[in-house]
Amino acid sequence: MVRAAILPAVGAPLEIRDIVLPDPGPGQVRVRLAAAGVCHSDLSLTNGTMRVPVPAVLGHEGAGTVLAVGEGVTHVAPGDGVVLNWAPSCGQCHHCAMGEVWLCVNALTGVGNVHAHDAQGAELHPGLNVAAFAEETVVAAGCVLPAPEGIPLAEAALLGCAVLTGYGAVHHSAQVRPGESVAVFGVGGVGLAALQAARVAEAGPVIAVDVSPAKEELARAAGATEFVLAGAEGAARQIRALTGGHGADVAVECVGRAESIRAAWESTRRGGRTTVVGIGGKEQQVTFHALEIFHFARTLTGCVYGNSDPARDLPVIAEHVRAGRMDLGALVTDRIGLDDIPAAFDAMLAGKGGRSLVVFP
């Protein structure tokens, strides 16, 4: 028996209770969690924006220690520290063959599997493959990567989603060059990682945009040189004023709301680039007219998992962390327990704080 956060049905509140985990079978790994980050994607599962089979154990951003491995697993062993990878690529589909492993069509096939059972014997699924909101989990071998040396496991949990996504949005999707101006919309966990990544890319100015003035201190600590209130009259005008009257070279949208996507697009210069990281629902309709598309010649791009290859990018990011160019701990504003996850969801909805991190004893 281990404790876990279970989503019993879409729209239902989370339940923190005991589950029964099986021993790892062939090609599987059992992990004791050190920490798990509370991501907006978990919230999107609870409200149905993203759909997976339920009931499910949520949590997809985590790190921990290997307890046991099943037959055929050779890249990790009991006692190893690992980072969970919620979107393992198959290496065989069309996108993987094109080098676009973040678009692998088979990455989420595991969500339909039976992950565990509750105390009454009901089947539970792994929300986004890894079921990290639990004291322990059993995952496919492709869902674990060796944890980088020199980084505490609790902080390494953030590498599993927020940091890979924010870093990749800046370096892979937007391909920010030194000296380019960057505006980051939404200063949550991913937005803070994107601000740090923009600093690593030697961008400037780096402008943070958020609905909460309380986020300014967090944003500046992460690398923002300027702060603009989202929704304020003339926010796009303020960004143009901060970028020589032209607009930002790059905007990174980490909210997933129609008005935020539109504002990010409007804040960029002619020929500018907007990368949308935030996950919005189908009701979030963004409109453009044909003349402005022609006139501004801007680019609007979706971004999945930061267009990252975790096996390739984790060592690169880890080196930035060890060298002091990125600070994982600075993304965390609250260290909590399993029972506090619902309150962390409420804080996300209210736009408060950065990353909440579930830390296991």
Cα distance between residue 63 and residue 244, in whole Å: 43
Query: What phi and psi, each to the nearest 5 degrees, are found at residue 36?
Result: -145, 130
Kindly tell me if the per-residue pLDDT of 353 is higher than 90.
no
Query: Are 234 and 240 a contacting pair, CB within 8 Å?
Result: no
Task: Name the band, by pLDDT with cuts 50, 70 and 90, for residue 233.
Answer: low
**Where is 125: in which H helix or E strand?**
strand 123-126
CB-based burial, 46-57: b 16+ in 10 Å, e otherwise: beebbebebbbb
271: its two tokens: 């020929």
What confidence score (pLDDT) does residue 48 get? 85
Dihedral of the alpha carbons of 348, 353, 355, 358, in degrees to the nearest 10? -80
Cα distance between residue 288 and residue 91, in whole Å: 37
Kindly tell me if the per-residue pLDDT of 143 is higher than 70.
yes
- Report the percent of the chain where pLDDT is more than 70: 99
Mean pLDDT of 189-203: 97
Q: Please, is 297 exposed, middle or buried when counting C-beta atoms within 10 Å of its C-beta (0-12, 13-18, 19+)?
A: exposed
What confidence score (pLDDT) does residue 231 get? 78
What confidence score (pLDDT) does residue 52 get? 87
| Helix, strand, coil distribution of the chain in percent, nearest 5 | 35, 25, 40
What confidence score (pLDDT) does residue 155 get? 95
76: its two tokens: 């990790």
What confidence score (pLDDT) does residue 234 get? 79
**Where is 355: in which H helix or E strand?**
strand 355-359
Kindly tell me if the per-residue pLDDT of 51 is higher than 90.
no
Strand 56-57, strand 116-118: pairing: unpaired
Q: Please, is 149 exposed, middle or buried when counting C-beta atoms within 10 Å of its C-beta (0-12, 13-18, 19+)?
A: exposed
Cα distance between residue 34 and residue 212, in whole Å: 31
